[in-house]
Amino acid sequence: MAAGIGVGVAVLLLAASVPTARQHRDARIHGRIDVNLDDRVVPASRRTVLVSDIDTVFRGIAIRGRLVEPEGPDAPLPPGLDRFPRPGEMVVSPALGRLLAQPGNGLLRARLDHPVAGEVDDSGLLGPGEYVFFLGGEHMESGVAGARRLDHFGKVYADKPLAPDLVLLTVVGIVVLLTPVAVFIAAATRFGGEHRDRRLAALRLIGADRGMTAGIAAGEALVSSLIGVVVGAALFAVGRRFVDLVDVQGLSVFARDLTPEPSLAAVVAVAVPCLSLVSAHLAMNKVVAEPLGVVRRSVGAKRRLWWRVVLPLFGLLLLWTSVRDASQVRSTAGVVALVAGMLALLVGVTAVVPWLLDRFTERAGGAGPLSWQLAVRRLRSHSEASTRSVNGIVVAVAGAIALQTLFTGMAHSHTGDHPSTARGPAPDTRVGVVRLVGADSEKPYASLLARTAGVTRAVGFAELQVSEVPYGVPQTVRIADCAVLRLLASVPTCANGDAFVVAPGIGSTDDTTEWEAGTRMRMGTSGPDWRVPRITATARARAGNPQGVFPETMLLATPGAAGATATAHATHAVSLEYRTSREDVHDRIRTAAVRLNPQFQVEFPEDRKEDTALSDIRRALLAGVAVVLLLIAASMLIGAVEQLRDQQRVMAMLVAVGARRRTLNGSVLWQTALPVAIGMLVAGLVGTALGGTLLHLMGRTAVFDWIGMLAMAAIGAGAVLLVTALTLPTVRQVTRVEGIRHE
């Protein structure tokens, strides 16, 4: 009991450390902000530094990069640096240093082909696994190629309130992660239950009454839970030393950040013994300890279904009626209704699984191999012990499927997919865009990038963002000569001085751009004014054009129509066609662009863009799900070992009369697999129902990720195989002939 409760307490202390870890992480985020958020003009001085973003991506791994050049001896250092790197040198985070050193990462080494002059300190990192580098620059100019001048790093500002749907997702995640832990701790209180019941029967034999045996059982539960709290604190203290080595989808935490909030730690220390006492009391109500043995009231009594489905149905009804939309979760009443509904639904699952297991074993016995018959007979006579260790994984998987459904539905609404009608002749052809603000448009970037392996065509043009004065919608102007414009659109005739409007592709229903000759526009956010030139004609996107898709009504202009000022303020861009069948083609393009200029920004429009806040919450919750599933695997192992110890005499006798150990091993596998299989079925139904209901509250259409759900079920099956493999040594131990001896 102490071991099982200790594992649960360690997880609860980890959850109690989340507020502290988030506070420290937010402080580091604020401390390394390198953007002038108040829009004040910073003049050049000996106390200023020039900074430019040179972020990159390598095989899906985001790498934060900054090009820095101090303008004087007193220039502020970015957090994590003790000195500025010299021009051409770079300082890397420990994780990035390890990534660069790994074999097979030659493309990344070619991209970041600079001598390493040091490591980024922890103060400049969000976590030990973050990939960060600072590159020393020279001849940088403020306002050119994305460079900006700063006189300090860091900015303290109030956090923006989360959107209602993200608040709902956070509340759901907390309930989903903590409910299985509570179920596990309640189950751990019943570890060794059969031994305890036999001891209580012996006490009745020597004169103890029912009240005394109930008090002894409560005392055992209380002492075990108190020892479990101490064990859990020790496990947490040891485990946090190794947390620097853990990375879940890019999310990592420093060990020193995992410090439980004192108030939450106190709640854990009090709540766990109370939960153990309540669980022990409820368990004793089902057992009568008599002088001649233990009589279980549940034996022979048929479980009824009606009251077992009332609780989950009540939870669904509460969610449908009490919370009308996601905005209500900002209120206390809305949060209480949401939590109560989810708890009723998830906890109700633990009452349905035993009934289903009973019905299944009633109809499945009497046939099949001997290992199957032994397992079914054991499950029929001790189904409560079998489902007790499974309830935690059922609740965890149901919650994980609900979260997966939420993520899928929300990701569809947070991404803008604009399918193209002009992809090119080859089915594996895609389009990428390489941009460099303020680059020298005379350099042959397009021809140089066209030599990259996998690139089939490269077209260079200038791109300008304009908006109607004073507060208009940002619109895009592409500036190129007639030869390039003919590649982008079907223009009737073209001469220098012409301009064409191109309609958006299919799926761009949110387009609100308007083009009218003579309209006064502003270049960028604070650039000079610009007038829309005379529109020569309206054109259509050309099939197979290297742009791929026009997400909005766009203006294509020749240099004569746009004017010299517009061309000077435009971003130099190269649109690339490439074949996805080429290995590492994305990274090859990024490497080629960075080698031409470290400030090139590479975009692949077909990649789905995810909301940053949603991505952060998703990573945190997935990390929590991983921890909870490890906890449940541990609980299943402890429960399986405990059941084997209870069956020691029976299994030893079976071996003594000729049963093969392989048969008993198969029996153990079936005893673990059957409850899990039934539980996974229930978890899938409840998880999809809960996820669909929560998406309905947010006004979203339910989109189910069946592959993700199968992955969750596979994790459950993997847990069964792992637990069975780990119990085999115990099976060999309990089947020795010495196990027949009994006193």
State residue 108's pLDDT score. 93
State residue 672's pLDDT score. 80
The C-alpha atoms of residue 80 and residue 741 are separated, in whole angstroms, by 66
* 429 pLDDT above the threshold of 50: yes
Which range is least confidently modeled, 19-23, 490-494, 639-643, 656-660? 639-643
The C-alpha atoms of residue 582 and residue 508 are separated, in whole angstroms, by 30
pTM of the predicted structure, to 2 decimals: 0.75
The mean per-residue pLDDT over the stretch 384-399 comes to: 76
The C-alpha atoms of residue 159 and residue 172 are separated, in whole angstroms, by 21
State residue 78's pLDDT score. 94
Reported as type and span, the H/E element at residue 53 is strand 49-53
The C-alpha atoms of residue 258 and residue 16 are separated, in whole angstroms, by 9
The mean per-residue pLDDT over the stretch 129-144 comes to: 89
Higher pLDDT, 305 or 485: 485
Give 711's pLDDT tier (boundaries 50, 70, 90): confident
| 3-state DSSP assignment of residue 258 | coil
The C-alpha atoms of residue 683 and residue 610 are separated, in whole angstroms, by 28
State residue 84's pLDDT score. 95
State residue 696's pLDDT score. 78
State residue 249's pLDDT score. 67
Higher pLDDT, 439 or 79: 79
Give 263's pLDDT tier (boundaries 50, 70, 90): very high
**For 258-369, where are the alpha helices, taking DSSP H only?**
262-284, 306-322, 332-364
The mean per-residue pLDDT over the stretch 482-492 comes to: 86
Contact 235, 7 (CB under 8 A): yes
344-354 per-position pLDDT tens digit: 888 888 888 88
Q: Where are the domains of the chain?
A: 2-17+162-414+612-740, 34-150, 429-603
The C-alpha atoms of residue 255 and residue 691 are separated, in whole angstroms, by 33
Contact 107, 588 (CB under 8 A): yes
Contact 377, 365 (CB under 8 A): yes
- The mean of the pLDDT values for the chain is 81
Higher pLDDT, 377 or 422: 377
Give 160's pLDDT tier (boundaries 50, 70, 90): low
State residue 47's pLDDT score. 93
> Which two structure tokens, joined as six digits, stand for 606?
């077909």
* 616 pLDDT above the threshold of 70: no
Which range is least confidently modeled, 474-488, 522-536, 622-636? 622-636
* 439 pLDDT above the threshold of 60: no
Which range is least confidently modeled, 347-361, 432-446, 586-600? 432-446
State residue 302's pLDDT score. 65
Which range is least confidently modeled, 115-119, 357-361, 382-386? 382-386
The mean per-residue pLDDT over the stretch 126-133 comes to: 93
137-146 per-position pLDDT tens digit: 998 888 777 7
State residue 297's pLDDT score. 44
* 646 pLDDT above the threshold of 80: no
Which range is least confidently modeled, 205-219, 543-557, 653-667? 543-557
Give 125's pLDDT tier (boundaries 50, 70, 90): very high
The mean per-residue pLDDT over the stretch 392-401 comes to: 80
Buried b (16+ CB within 10 A) or exposed e, 567-605: bebbbbbbbbbbbeebeebbbbbbbbbbebbbbbbbebb
Give 424's pLDDT tier (boundaries 50, 70, 90): very low
